[in-house]
Amino acid sequence: MVKKIEKDYSRFRAIVRGQIKKELRKYITRGELVGKVGKNLVSIPIPQIQIPHFRYGKNDGSGVGMGPGEPGTPLEQGEPGEGTGAGEQPGDHLLEVDVTLDELAKILGEELALPNIKPKGSRTIQADKAKYTGIARSGPESLRHFKRTYREALKRSISLGIYSAENPIVVPVREDKRYRSWKVREVPQNNAVVIYMMDVSGSMGDEQKEIVRIEAFWIDTWLRSQYKRIETRYIVHDAIAKEVDHHTFFHVKESGGTKISSAFQLCTDIIDRDFNAAEWNIYPFHFSDGDNWGSEDTRRCLELLETKIFPVSNVFCYGQVKSAYGSGQFKKDLDEKFGKDDARIITSEIRDREGIYDSIKDFLGKGK
């Protein structure tokens, strides 16, 4: 059945689509969105177009509410304006919905028309996994199966004739006890590791790092939806590279020169040490403003990519964040060497926050 609303709905979507990129960009670029990933829930706005009216602004944001508390008590969740009737504030232009990261990834995938990733076939291995599906007569007390134990005790007491309906006391003895036990099953597994590398030399400012942070969040979200398990590693570098944790990665401030090859070398070392290329889907991402220290080092970078990184990676991604100081040379070098169509590498330039949207599409749009 074709619904009457269908026409109005597609009209609305058409209007939004003219806007949809803007809308989506708007919430992708909203930094605080990432901050809300607390209990695995984020708010995503449903696009709404507000017909403008003469109405009150929100200059004091006051209203009438109901409930306990002394003056000065902050209101809990349930924000004003969500309710109806007297307490009604001018509504927000965006309705925020809490969705899980899985749903978020799905929405991202739909809006950006991202293809599903095909894990490399030969690298899909069988892993042993324990499942607690069986019952055993012995085991640790922490795995005792309460119900089954009582059932055994009841069976025993009835068959012994000591059970009385008037005084139904059932006391299990040791022989009655039943425990959960596991069976080992083989499950197919595909794992991925994302290795983020970032240039933290002086020319990368806070804004550039924020862009990398937002972009990394969306890449993580998408890859997480595609793989059972995902690991992330972080490398920062100026003239030398070191591995750091998530927090440090986005907050460290270094200065000094830039030797990209140092990061690539460390990346290779990490892969060799921790990630067997036959078992892992490997995604190295490198972000910088495009400056490198001398063509000698660049040559070394290209060589490392060609011989060490490409052979083990699903795809190598390079994101060049535009900064006031960066020359942007490195992307040119990469494109020159490998050409635009090399399937092993994806390069993307991110001019500003608005550019994140296109850049994500560049990186993930190939389904690799």
Partner 1 sequence: MSGTRGVKGGLRTGGGIREEIAQLATKIRGYALAYGLDPFDTSFELIEHDELNEIAAFGGFPTRYPHWRFGMQYEELEKGYLFGLQKIYELVINNDPCTAYLMKSNSLVDQKLVISHVYGHSDFFKHNYWFSQTNRKMLDQMANHGTRLRRYVEKFGETVVEDFLDACLSIENLIDAHSAYSPKKRKSTEHVEDLERDVTPRKIKSKEYMDRFMNPKEFVDRQKKAIEDEIAKKRKLPEHPEKDVLLFLLEHAPLDNWQRDVLSIVRDEAYYFAPQGMTKIMNEGWASYWHSRIMTEKVLTDSEVIEYAEHHAGTLGTQPGALNPYKVGIELFRDIEERWDKGRFGLEYERCDDMERRRTWDLKLGLGRKKIFEVRQIYNDVTFIDEFLTKEFCVQHKLFIFRHNPQTNRMEIADRDFDKVKEQLLFRLTNMGNPIIRVDDGNFRNRGELKLVHQHAGLDLDGREGRDTLKNLFRVWKRPVHIETMVEGEKKLLSYDGAKVEEEGVDAE
Q: Is residue 121 within the footprint of partner 1 (CB under 8 A)?
A: no
Contact partners, residue 301, CB within 8 Å, separation at least 6: 260, 261, 264, 292, 330
Phi and psi of 99, rounded to 5°?
-130, 160
* Strand ranges, E, within 289-362: 316-321, 345-350
Closest CB to partner 1 among residues 91, 188: 91
H or E segment and range at residue 181? strand 179-189
Residues in region 295-314 near partner 1 by CB under 8 A: none
In which order are the strands placed within the sheet that holds 316-321? Answer: 241-244, 229-237, 191-199, 280-288, 316-321, 345-350
The reply on whether position 4 binds partner 1 by CB under 8 A is yes
- Which one among 31, 81, 294, 367 touches partner 1, defined by CB under 8 A? 81
Query: Does 125 help bind partner 1 (rule: CB under 8 A)?
Result: no
Residue whose CB is less far from partner 1, 62 or 307: 62
Q: Which stretch binds partner 1 (CB under 8 A): 50-58, 244-252, 266-274, 313-321?
A: 50-58
CA 165 to chain centre: 57
Q: Sign of the C-alpha dihedral, residues 205, 210, 216, 218?
A: negative
- Residue 40 is a binding residue for partner 1 (CB under 8 A): no
Binds partner 1 by CB under 8 A, chosen from 2, 39, 51, 324: 51
Collapsing DSSP to helix, strand or coil, 136 comes out as: strand
Give the residue, chosen from 18, 78, 121, 161, that forms a contact with partner 1 under the rule CB under 8 A.
78
Shortest distance (Å) from residue 16 CB to partner 1: 8
**2 lies in the site for partner 1, by CB under 8 A:** no
Q: Which stretch binds partner 1 (CB under 8 A): 33-41, 62-70, 199-207, 336-344?
A: 62-70
Q: Please pick, from the candidates 17, 22, 35, 95, the single residue that binds partner 1 as defined by CB under 8 A.
A: 95
Angle separating helix axes 206-226 and 101-112, nearest 10 degrees? 100
Q: Applying CB under 8 A, does 278 fall inside the site for partner 1? A: no
The residue among 93 and 129 lying less far from partner 1, judged by its C-beta, is 93
Query: What is the Cα–Cα distance from 279 to 191, expressed in whole angstroms?
Result: 7
One-letter amino acid for residue 171 of the chain? V
From the list 92-100, 149-157, 221-229, 302-310, the region that binds partner 1 by CB under 8 A is 92-100
Distance, in Å, from the CA atom of 76 to the CA atom of 66, rounded to the nearest integer, reads 12
CA of 88: how far to CAs of 52, 68, 71, 146, 329, in Å?
A: 17, 20, 21, 52, 54
Nearer to partner 1, 77 or 164 (CB): 77
Residue type, 166: E
Among 32, 38, 39, 56, binds partner 1 (CB under 8 A): 56
Kind and range of the H or E run holding 112: helix 101-112
**Identified binder of partner 1 from the candidate list 18, 38, 85, 140, rule CB under 8 A:** 85
Binding segment toward partner 1, per CB under 8 A, in 4-12, 126-134, 186-194, 281-289 = 4-12
Tokens of 216: 């990394």
Residues 179, 143: contact at Cβ < 8 Å?
A: yes
Number of residues in contact with partner 1 under rule CB under 8 A:
57
Q: Does 91 bind partner 1 (CB under 8 A)?
A: no
CB nearer to partner 1: pick between 55 and 340: 55
The residue among 12 and 310 lying less far from partner 1, judged by its C-beta, is 12
Q: Which residues bind partner 1 (CB under 8 A)?
A: 3-5, 7-13, 15, 46, 48-76, 78-88, 90, 95, 97, 99, 103
